[in-house]
Structure formats: structure tokens, C-alpha cells
Amino acid sequence: MDEPFGPENLIAALRTLNARGEFLITVLTDAEGLLMASAPSPGWDAEKQAAVVALVQRAARQAQAASMDAADEVAIRDVTGRRLICRPFEVDGQILLLSVLMEAGRPYRRLTNDAIRDVRRAWAF
């Protein structure tokens, strides 16, 4: 039987995601860009990353206003190949955004799916 997964496990879930994916930072924000939880690697600033995520959220909303469907993910790649992947999802009627910053070539989709499932479990507790 699975152990209870409550709100105190939220940061642990993000830290696990960071470790499994070797991500530089993992951030969970609400629809307004408010930082809810983060798991930065040493030397990375979660609040600065949350500000970048808020900008990505606005871009996704503008794309939706331009007759696109809701975004499944938004990705930004810098000149070094690092990628910022933002995955919006809904929990109890609230839109949350899970974002990870990673070096080039790192797989992420299955790992972020697992993390989204864990966030939903923690939220439902």
C-alpha cells in the first residue's frame, strides 16, 4: 500500500524530480506566477526562475487568445542549449505550472508526468 502523500511532500517531490532528471531547478507556480514550491540546485535562484516562468505563462495565455488551444507545454531554449520547460496542469479547478530548467539533451516528459501526478496527490490530501 502506498504511504500517505500530503502537502509536506510537495517540496520532496520536486527535489526527487530534480535528482532523477538532473535538472538545474524545478519550480511550481500558480496561474499568477506566485512561487508555491521550488527545488533549485546549488547556485540557482528559484525566485528569479519563477519570474521567468511568469513571463512564459503570459506568452502561453496570449497564444491561447490568438485561437490556439490551451498549451500542453511551453519550451524556451537559450544559446547554450539549456531548456526551460513549463507544463501547465489543473488541480481542483486551479491552474498550476510545473517548470524545469535543464541542460541540453536531458529527457523530461515522463519525469514531469510523474511529478504532476505527485503534486495532484499532495493537493488532494
Q: Where are the domains of the chain?
A: 7-124
In residues, how long is the chain?
Answer: 125
pLDDT of residue 4: 47
| pLDDT average, residue stretch 26-40 | 82
pLDDT of residue 1: 38
What is 11-57 written as a DSSP string? HHHHHHHHHHHT-SEEEEEETT--EEEEEEPTT--HHHHHHHHHHHH
Coil, helix or strand at residue 79: coil
Tell me the backbone φ, ψ of residue 16, rounded to 5 degrees: -65, -45
pLDDT of residue 62: 65
Q: What percent of the chain has pLDDT over 70?
A: 76
User: How many Å apart are CA 106 and CA 99, to the nearest integer?
Assistant: 14
Q: For 50-102, write each residue's pLDDT tens digit.
A: 677 776 667 666 666 665 567 788 888 889 999 988 888 888 888 888 988 89
Q: For 96-125, write each residue's pLDDT tens digit.
A: 889 888 999 999 999 999 999 988 888 776
pLDDT of residue 69: 66
Class of domain 7-124: alpha beta
pLDDT level of residue 22 (50, 70, 90 thresholds)? very high
| pLDDT average, residue stretch 16-38 | 86
